[in-house]
């Protein structure tokens, strides 16, 4: 646990000085690298995270940085689920672009319309809106929003195929950051697969996606304590805009699952004890009825 907290502190400290912004809500608890999915956080589940983004050095790196409206920044994010159907996200961004540092606060909202069942053809379907800026937030109504909100519809389905076993497919459509070139809307697609290798002592999820402007790939490691470390790369199809991503977050989902499993085991053990006591009582009754009266 101490090692996990130390790693989290070091990455947050480093991100304050060397991070670059990314286009969207990267590596959210219910999303892939840079695209949303049809899933939402369950009721009472929350995740807190920060990220670092390193731009791949190239001949056009300096030009890209000059045209970047955000510049160097660090973001702290909190996502939480309500009523098993609603997910709300809040992001605070410290922007150090140019000589006038600023801050930006944005909100995200996702509502799940359909939930995928273990058996059946119905997928998970969700709608949402991202980057609701300062102008729309009640605590800072005088500030102006730097980002136009992006609306989306996302669909996710889990498949079970021979050899590949289970993997998830994701597809959706959205506006603004998901739009293709001059079109007002665009499509995004993604694939993800979970692994549970014995050596990892946790879950590993790999993902590959197209978010409307570029191809992204990611690797996420989730420990049994809830700490998550994710590595990713954005715009693999455009080396001049390639970003390397490092995300550190913590979620209480694993802790609640462990509590739930502990309660289940206690309930099961209690039932076994009760059944054992009943069996012993039945045996004693049989023994008493079969006892031979001793001679007088």
Domain range for 283 is 259-296
User: Dihedrals φ, ψ of 98, to 5°?
Assistant: 65, -150
Do residues 238 and 271 both lie within one domain?
Answer: no
Mean pLDDT of 128-154: 64
Do residues 155 and 219 both lie within one domain?
Answer: yes
pLDDT digits (tens, 9 = 90+) for 34-61: 899 999 999 988 888 887 766 666 555 4
For 70-74, 228-232, 268-272, which range has the lowest pLDDT when averaged over its residues?
70-74
The CATH number for 75's domain is 2.40.160.40
Q: Please tell me the predicted confidence (pLDDT) of residue 7.
A: 42
How many domains would you assign to the chain? 2
pLDDT digits (tens, 9 = 90+) for 179-205: 887 788 889 999 999 888 777 778 889
Quote the pTM value.
0.71
Q: Which of 238, 234, 169 is nearest to 34 (CA)?
A: 234
Do residues 269 and 210 both lie within one domain?
Answer: no
Higher pLDDT residue, 1 or 267? Answer: 267
Do residues 272 and 179 both lie within one domain?
Answer: no
Do residues 133 and 263 both lie within one domain?
Answer: no
By the 8 A CB rule, do 174 and 153 touch?
A: yes
Do residues 277 and 247 both lie within one domain?
Answer: no
Residue 41: how many other CB atoms lie within 10 Å: 24
Give 141's pLDDT tier (boundaries 50, 70, 90): very low
Do residues 157 and 177 both lie within one domain?
Answer: yes
pLDDT digits (tens, 9 = 90+) for 52-100: 766 666 555 444 444 343 335 577 888 999 998 999 998 887 665 555 6
Mean pLDDT of 158-175: 86
Do residues 99 and 142 both lie within one domain?
Answer: yes
Do residues 150 and 271 both lie within one domain?
Answer: no
Do residues 234 and 294 both lie within one domain?
Answer: no
Residue 273 in this model has a pLDDT that exceeds 70: yes
Do residues 240 and 263 both lie within one domain?
Answer: no
Mean pLDDT of 252-270: 86
Do residues 241 and 174 both lie within one domain?
Answer: yes
Q: Please tell me the predicted confidence (pLDDT) of residue 125.
A: 94
Distance CA 134, CA 129 (A): 14
Take residue 206 and report the two structure tokens written for it.
Answer: 């790999």
| Integer angstrom CA distances of residue 225 from 173, 231, 259 | 34, 19, 12
């Amino acid at each position: 646990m101490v090692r996990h907290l130390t790693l989290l502190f070091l990455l947050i400290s480093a991100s304050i000085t060397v991070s670059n912004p990314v286009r969207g809500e990267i590596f959210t608890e219910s999303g892939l690298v840079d695209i949303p999915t049809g899933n939402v956080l369950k009721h009472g589940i929350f995740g807190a995270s920060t990220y670092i983004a390193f731009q791949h050095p190239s001949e056009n790196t300096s030009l890209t940085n000059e045209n970047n409206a955000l510049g160097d920044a660090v973001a702290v994010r909190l996502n939480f689920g309500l009523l098993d159907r609603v997910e709300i996200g809040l992001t605070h961004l410290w922007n150090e672009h140019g000589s006038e540092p600023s801050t930006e606060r944005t909100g995200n909202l996702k509502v799940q319309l359909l939930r995928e069942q273990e058996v059946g053809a119905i997928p998970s379907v969700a709608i949402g809106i991202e980057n609701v800026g300062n102008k729309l937030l009640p605590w800072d109504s005088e500030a102006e929003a730097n980002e136009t909100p992006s609306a989306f519809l996302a669909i996710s389905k889990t498949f079970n195929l021979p050899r590949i076993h289970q993997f998830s497919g994701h597809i959706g459509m959205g506006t603004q950051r998901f739009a293709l070139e001059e079109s007002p809307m665009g499509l995004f697609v993604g694939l993800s697969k979970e692994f549970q290798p014995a050596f990892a002592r946790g879950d590993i999820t790999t993902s590959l996606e197209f978010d409307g402007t570029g191809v992204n790939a990611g690797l996420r490691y989730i420990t049994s304590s809830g700490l998550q470390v994710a590595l990713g790369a954005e715009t693999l199809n455009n080396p001049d805009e390639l970003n390397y991503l490092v995300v550190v977050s913590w979620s209480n989902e694993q802790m609640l699952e462990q509590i739930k499993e502990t309660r289940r085991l206690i309930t099961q053990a209690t039932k076994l004890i009760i059944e054992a006591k009943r069996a012993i009582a039945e045996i004693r009754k049989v023994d008493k009825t079969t006892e031979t009266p001793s001679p007088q």
